[in-house]
Amino acid sequence: APIGQILSQPEQLLFILDNLDEPKWDLKKQSSALCPHWSQQQQVHTLLGSLLKKTLLPTASLLITARITALRKLIPSLKHPRWVEVLGFSESARKEYFFQYFTDEGQAIRAFTSVESNPALFTMCLMPLVSWLVCTCLKQQMEQEQPLSLTSQTTTALFLHYFFHVLQAQSLGAKLRGLCSLAAKGTCQRKTLFSPEDFRKYGLDEANIPILLNMGVLQEHPTPRSYSFLHRCFQEFFAAMSYASGDRKLKRGGFINIKTITDLTDVYDRRDLFGEPTTCFLFGLLSDQGMRELESIFKHSLSRKRHSYLLQLAQREVDCKHPNLEPYCWHLLHCFYENQDTRFLTEMMSNFYGMRICVQTHMELLVFTFCFKFCHRMKTLQLNLLCWYHRPGPWGTPTKPGPSGFMTEITSNFFSHMVCLRAVKDMKGKMNGVGDILGALFWQENRDGSLQLEIEFESLSHGKEDCLHPQALCWALQIKKMNIYALSQKNFPHSGRNRPTKGVQQCRMARYSWGPFTDSWWQMFFSIFKVPGSLRELDLSGNSLSCSAVQSLCDALKSPHCHLETLTLANCGLTAEDCRVLAHVLSDNWHLIELDLSFNKLQDTGARHLFQELTHSHCKLWWLLLVSCGLTSGCCQDLVSMLSNNVMLIVLDLQQNDLGDLGVRLLSEGLRQSNCRLKYLG
């Protein structure tokens, strides 16, 4: 159809701008040159700026794909933008990709199992390109009947393995240096398409191009005749190799010298520098291992001056963020992770005395836990962990978090290291459904309570049993106070008493109560009392407990290893029958001194079970709270008998119960008994 006819209904048009990462013009500087009508002939950047700012075809829609760093520059130029971050393959999608790549199911299983055994590599496979590289490397090992072994821990190491062990790119000899120079020049000029003339400038004639095409390094664009690297990351990797190796040809032109990395800051502003894959690759290549690989590839020794300069540049960046790590410093941590050198990381991370950081993906968790090991001077940490959240799938279906074994491993390593530091005195965290992390939070080394933790669990909307696995909570016996508090119920009435904390360190764990946990969950959770430990206070307020869950709790309270002193079961949906089961346990537990059963419909029947047991048992209960439990005068005779015989109880709270005149008279008689030791009556 004629262009005029197509553009006559702009509301039906969708313009797709794919990979708009680095336009050669600055949209901010082009704001004055806008095109009001499509019929006017304008330069490309003017037309694009007019589309983005909705002065041209304002009712049309635009779909733009770009990297996050580029998106930040584009958003100010957009009208009414909506953006979605594509996080990569989920665990199930990774597995599906492997089974699509390998047509033989047996090979797919072998490959996927091999990658799963390398947690770092498996996490990096969330990037489709990495999954493709890994599958290609493993396929070659299968074809050569080699054992499946891919030990790469970083993307730099994986790229080195792919290009120089799979593609044998070192066979290019001197041509490899020219290819790296071409990539570097293109990076600085924000250029991704190269003509045959561009190749000739760097010693690559047209006879070399088919070789690079067959190797899978380049791809051809027929109109106009030009070439690009197969993937933009390939260009960025070869550019980083050029910077790291110190290309002599470019050096004569004044481009590649000791100021190479400074030249990159002219292309990317300072904040974006560390967010670019080229810089990330450069950190990896200038590590000790990376330098050894490059020297083997280029057959000569390389100067360590670039490594020193990179260290200085990173140090200046760290100093800008001192003493707290700002959220956008994720890019810097990714660069540090690629380097992997202990000495380098120790020097960099020792500058951080405090951190506040949000972990949203498993890759970020991998990077953070690795770098944190070198924070030997850390004093405070504010950690927002969102990576366990069950993100919705493509059609709203819930997707599960990453491999639980991997999560357990890295979180346990992280928190065991954290409490061993001893310098970390204050930690605040907000987490979405983390089970494995709890086991590490209360690591055995924290017996002295030196670590103060404030953890908030929120948005447990899917699979709570998986998110908060109770077996991990066995480590909680190494602390002295634990609250599991239902935030959605936080406004229900409370007894109002203000108990002293008796000097114990507090670890408050909170979660939203989106629905009851299963009976099997509670059974496993209460098993924490059956192993030796030091847990003294447990608050389950607002959690609905079934009869089976109450029975599991009572079985646990009978354990000789249970040293629980304070148990709060306010607003847990307990019944008179639950109260009967719980009352029988009191004679078997010599440690419990505070019991809160407020806001449960125990009624007179349940209260009588409780009072009768307290009358005859050797229970050492001091505090008993029965606020708003539906009690009447019908239970007061048993209450009087209990007060006359129990010499331990000193606090009793019966507020918001309708005892009536008869109940009050009976209670008054009980208080006058000589054996009554009650000091507080509410």
Q: What one-character-per-residue DSSP string does 243-262 give? A: HHHT-HHHHHTTSSSTTHHH
Distance CA 674, CA 281 (A): 82
Q: What is the mean pLDDT of residues 382-396?
A: 47
Give the containing element (helix H, strand E) for 429. strand 426-431
DSSP string, 132-199: HHHHHHHHHHHHTT--------SHHHHHHHIIIIIS-GGGGTHHHHHHHHHHHHHHHTT---B-HHHH
Q: Determine the 3-state secondary structure of 380 from DSSP.
A: strand
Q: Which candidate, 288, 344, 295, 287, places its Cα nearest to that of 315?
A: 344
Q: Could you tell me which residue, 468 or 196, shows the higher pLDDT?
A: 196
The most confident of 85-94, 140-149, 649-658, by mean pLDDT: 140-149
Q: What average pLDDT is seen over the chain?
A: 74
The pLDDT value recorded for residue 191 is 87
Instruction: Decide which of 45 and 24 is more confident.
Output: 45
Condensed to tens digits (0 to 9), the pLDDT of residues 163-174 reads 988 888 888 888
Is residue 160 predicted with pLDDT exceeding 60? yes
3-state secondary structure of 501: coil
CA angle 328, 281, 88 (to 5 degrees): 60
Residue (of 70, 158, 85) closest to 118 by Cα position:
158
Predicted local confidence at residue 122, as pLDDT: 94
Task: Encode pLDDT of 615-651 as tens digits.
Answer: 876 677 888 899 999 888 888 888 888 888 877 888 8
Pair 246, 184: CB distance under 8 Å: no
332-341 pLDDT, tens digit per residue, is 889 999 999 9
* pLDDT at residue 352 tops 90: no
Helix (H) or strand (E) holding 335: helix 330-339
HSE value, Cβ hemisphere, 13 Å, CA-based, for 475 = 18
Residues with Cβ within 8 Å of residue 462, at least 6 apart in sequence:
390, 398, 433
More confident residue, 646 or 534: 646
Please report which confidence band the pLDDT of residue 77 belongs to, taking 50, 70 and 90 as the band edges.
confident
- pLDDT grade for 134, boundaries at 50, 70 and 90: very high
Percent of the chain surpassing pLDDT 70: 70
Statement: residue 385 has pLDDT above 70: no
Cα–Cα dist 46/41, whole Å: 10
Cβ atoms of 525 and 496 within 8 Å: the answer is: no
Q: At what angle do helices 576-585 and 603-616 cross, to 10 degrees?
A: 10
| Contact yes or no for 666/640 (Cβ under 8 A) | yes
Q: Predicted confidence band at 260 (pLDDT cuts at 50, 70, 90)?
A: low
- Picking from 67, 76, 23, 63, the residue whose alpha carbon sits closest to that of residue 46 is 23
Average pLDDT, integer, range 328-349: 86
Task: State what percent of residues in the chain have pLDDT above 90.
Answer: 20
Residue carrying structure tokens 């004639």: 205
Once rounded to an integer, what is the mean pLDDT over residues 404-417? 48
**Mean pLDDT confidence for 117-134:** 93
pLDDT at 646: 76
